[in-house]
Amino acid sequence: MSGYLVSDNRKVTTHRFIEMKERGEKISMLTSYDFTTAGIVDSAGIDGILIGDSASNVMVGNSTTLPITIDQMIYHASAVARAVKRALVVCDMPFGSYQVDRKEGVKNAIKIMKESGCDALKLEGGVEIIDTVKGILDAGIPVMAHLGLTPQSINKFGTYAVRAKEEAEAEKLASDALLLQEAGCFSVVFEKVPASLATKVSKELTIPTIGIGAGNGTDGQILVVDDMLGMTKGFSPKFLRRYADLNTVMTDAIGNYIRDVKSSDFPNSEESY
């Protein structure tokens, strides 16, 4: 088997994320939404698994992340948490679950932690949600922040294009990141921002930055597992590297099964009772 050999089998914690940044070890993250996939991703040695609200797109075919509910996120996250032995398990707080006010955000954060069994939560936004982030941290829940392209705000942005190309937005991203670090977040995701900006802010922060479409200067990387395995065909952004073509592998396997059923080759006597 080719691939990566895990040198340390201890459970990955938020503290280990920060230690990895301190010693210059890059952090690997992928999404997962179900028990079987999460078990494979964890056994391969990934550092962190995100139950992304991208489940809304990838698992059920919505065009945005907005429709997914708290209970649906808990359903996916609890399946992932049951499978994972080593990786840090982070769950997205879905749209609407933390934007109203601090009290409601903290209540929903506690519900997700209690019912999913995950290790930490991720929230999109900076200064606009800082009060709620502080409330969640005060409740003892580790928070990963998410800046740049924040898909829950797609209707405000109107496009999935690269963010923070203009100076004002770049400066806001840098000050938001610092604010979130000072509040106590253990990490921050930078999605679809210029590599030069992500590199500069990553150097300014002591907490690790995890990039997706943010170049090679962040402290770690994350991809959507179905995209990097080549299961999703229509989605081909520049930042995506496909490590397999599972769409073709699965289509071929299913085609062979159909052929064998139609020809009465399956099941044979050894496959029968």
Annotated binding site for 3-methyl-2-oxobutanoate: 53-54, 92, 122
Is residue 225 close enough to count as binding ligand KIV by CB under 6 A? no
> Who's near 63: CB < 8 A, 6+ residues apart?
57
Burial 57-96 (b: 16+ CB within 10 A, else e): bbbeeeebbbebebebbbbbbbbbbebbebbbbbbbbbbe
31 binds ligand KIV (CB under 6 A): yes
State which residue, 60 or 254, has the beta carbon closest to ligand KIV. Answer: 60
Q: Catalytic site residue 191? A: yes
Least distance in angstroms from the C-beta of 59 to ligand KIV? 11
Name the residue among 131, 79, 126 with its Cα closest to residue 102: 131
Nearest to 190 by CA among 214, 171, 166, 207: 214
Give 81 or 212: the residue with its C-beta nearer to ligand KIV. 212
Q: Tell me, residue by residue from 87 to 116, as one string, x for binding to ligand KIV by CB under 6 A and - for no binding.
A: -----x------------------------
Distance in Å from the first CA to the final CA of the chain = 34
The rounded distance, in Å, linking the Cα atoms of 269 and 133 is: 61
Q: Is 53 in the site for ligand KIV (CB under 6 A)?
A: yes
What single string gives the DSSP state of each residue in 30-98?
EE--SHHHHHHHHHTT-SEEEE-TTHHHHTT--SSSTT--HHHHHHHHHHHHHH-SSSEEEEEPPTTSS
Residue 222, interface with ligand KIV (CB under 6 A)? yes
CB 231 within 8 A of CB 54: no
Question: Of residues 1-20, which lie at the interface with ligand KIV (CB under 6 A)?
Answer: none
What letter represents residue 63's amino acid? S
Q: Does residue 52 interact with ligand KIV by CB under 6 A? A: yes
**Residues annotated as binding site?**
53-54, 92, 122, 124
- Considering the rule CB under 6 A, would residue 219 count as an interface residue with ligand KIV? no
Task: Name the one range near ligand KIV by CB under 6 A: 19-27, 52-60, 179-187, 195-203.
Answer: 52-60
- Strand 143-148 to 120-124 pairing: parallel
Residues in the chain: 273
Nearer to ligand KIV, 21 or 95 (CB): 95
Q: Which region among 7-15, 50-58, 110-118, 173-181 touches ligand KIV (by CB under 6 A)?
A: 50-58
Decide: is 189 part of the binding site for ligand KIV (CB under 6 A): yes
Tell me the catalytic residues. Answer: 191
Binding site for ligand KIV (CB under 6 A): 31, 50, 52-54, 92, 189, 191, 212, 222, 224
